[in-house]
Copies of this chain bind each other. A is one copy, B any other.
Amino acid sequence: MAKQQKDNQFVKEIADMTADFPQWYTDVVLKTQLVDYGPVKGTMVIRPYGYEIWEHIQEELDRRFKATGHKNAYFPMLIPYSYLVKEADHVEGFAPEVALVTHIGDTPLDEKLVVRPTSETIICSMFAKWVQSYRDLPVLVNQWANVVRWEKTTRPFLRTSEFLWQEGHTLHRTEEEAREETMRMLEVYREFMQNVLAIDVLTGVKTEKEKFAGAVATYSMEAMMLDGKSLQAGTSHYLGQNFANAFEIKYLDSDGALKNPYQTSWGVSTRLIGALIMAHGDQRGLKLPPRVAPVQVVIVPIAYHKEGVLEKASEVAAALKNAGVRVELDDRDQSPGWKFNEWEMKGVPVRIEIGPRDIENGQAVAVRRDTHEKSILSLDGLCEEIPALLDEIHENMFKQSHEFLHSRIDVCADMNEMKVALDKGHFVKTMWCGCRECEDKIKAELSATSRVLPFDQTPIGDKCVCCGKPASKVLYFAKSY
């Protein structure tokens, strides 16, 4: 009974995820100290436990970007307002939500400056200066930076006035090469989601309505959150020559002609932290994918005042650390039950318990966060067993994410079916005529938006789910973040 009460202590502080998912999310991100609210509306403070997740996301992605030939650079955050307006769709999309710097101290500026909401415009102005010949192509750069987009409704990690992200920007000699790059980076993202965050995604192209302001085509990956909503987790844009035209980026081709290069951009952000919380969490709190967990293994000594226990626990911690495991020894003056629950809430993938009897037997107890399964491991073998266990947890979490997603996609033929599916928190796979009006109507009536046109366009019907007219496009709809 005492055990039961302790078990419930942390859980009780977290709203019921089935009854109030948004409140569950807020409780979890605040109580686990991932994040806090900043003083300015819609801003967030990323606390050390949250920021370390971001650091691991960065390491993993940065390695992949470099392996595909990209180099990092840094472009100024403050952009002349006149740049923003050069690409017509771009300014329409971003102008209402940009933060404007108008003064330095008491002195007004001659031209107001935009705090970057994204960097296409300033980067293109530099590309125009740097690129002269086909020999200068391709240009493959990436930037890790903060951006500001003023949002009406905000939520930590998911939608904040300022967020951290990476934005890749590339220039190519041919359309084909640029389209290949767009797809390559979408695949880099998808593979990262699977192999690092353990989240399955749907990929495909956005409709005209949902594409990036200034792009020819936007490719996206969509992840299903535990409440059945879709989260756009990353995008890769084929920009064609839109920005190259607007910013007069020209190169002398080998045939002696001046041409505009073809362009891409692609990005993911701190929103990914929101994604992994809502894709994996449970009523006890976070369930962190092992490859980005700040603490992969926590060691809780049992009866740690007894001789030799803390010594042995420290020894194990040092050995695991040496084997490349991110390990923490919890030697605080609290009961083991309290510690178990706190670390469960914080989503640590594996807990190791070591007590006097375990030491006698040369063993330890390992408890998985994903399945709550206990196993007895030999102390001698821990440095091989634990990394393998972390991989197993990763695979299991991905499998769950995969099954969750694919068991909740309903094929719908009309609006009624669609409503039923959406109310259950499912995604809808359906046929669409291709017109904007139907998308608008679905949004108005069912609060769902189109997510992606999947690459596999094998028809699943021949009439539009909305207007009933002939339809040839397969499209996913869902409620979304």
Identify the A interface with B (CB < 8 A). 36, 38-40, 43-48, 51-52, 54-55, 71-80, 83, 95-106, 112-113, 115, 122, 125-126, 129-130, 141, 145-146, 148, 150, 161-162, 164
Contacts and interface: CB of A to CB of B under 8 A. Distances in A.
A366 to B, nearest CB: 26
A106 to B, nearest CB: 8
A337 B261 CA distance: 32
Interface centre among A106, A113, A164 (most CB of B within 10 A): A113
A206 B95 CA distance: 45
A71 B49 CA distance: 9
A105 B101 contact: no
Contacts of A54: 74
A132 to B, nearest CB: 14
A103 B100 contact: yes
Contacts of A112: 103
Contacts of A164: 74
B105 A43 contact: no
7 contacts: A39-B76, A45-B126, A51-B72, A52-B71, A96-B104, A101-B102, A101-B115
A425 B237 CA distance: 53
Given A96-B105, A122-B39, A44 B141 contact: no
Contacts of A79: 39-40
Pairs A-B, 7 closest by C-beta atoms: A48-B71, A43-B76, A38-B76, A46-B74, A96-B105, A100-B103, A104-B150
A131 B141 CA distance: 41
A334 to B, nearest CB: 12
B51 A74 contact: yes
B46 A78 contact: no
Nearest to A47: B73
A296 to B, nearest CB: 16
A43 B74 contact: no
A162 B73 contact: no
Nearest to A72: B51
Nearest to A46: B74
Contacts of A36: 126, 129-130
A80 B112 CA distance: 19
Contacts of A52: 71-72
Given A78-B40, A100-B102, A45 B72 contact: no
Contact of A43 (B39, B51, B78, B141): B78
Nearest to A75: B45
A73 B294 CA distance: 13
Contact of A146 (B51, B72, B145): B145
B162 A76 contact: yes
A448 B413 CA distance: 80
A106 B39 CA distance: 22
B75 A38 contact: yes
Contact of A122 (B38, B80, B97, B141): B38
A22 to B, nearest CB: 22
Contacts of A100: 101-105
Contacts of A51: 71-74
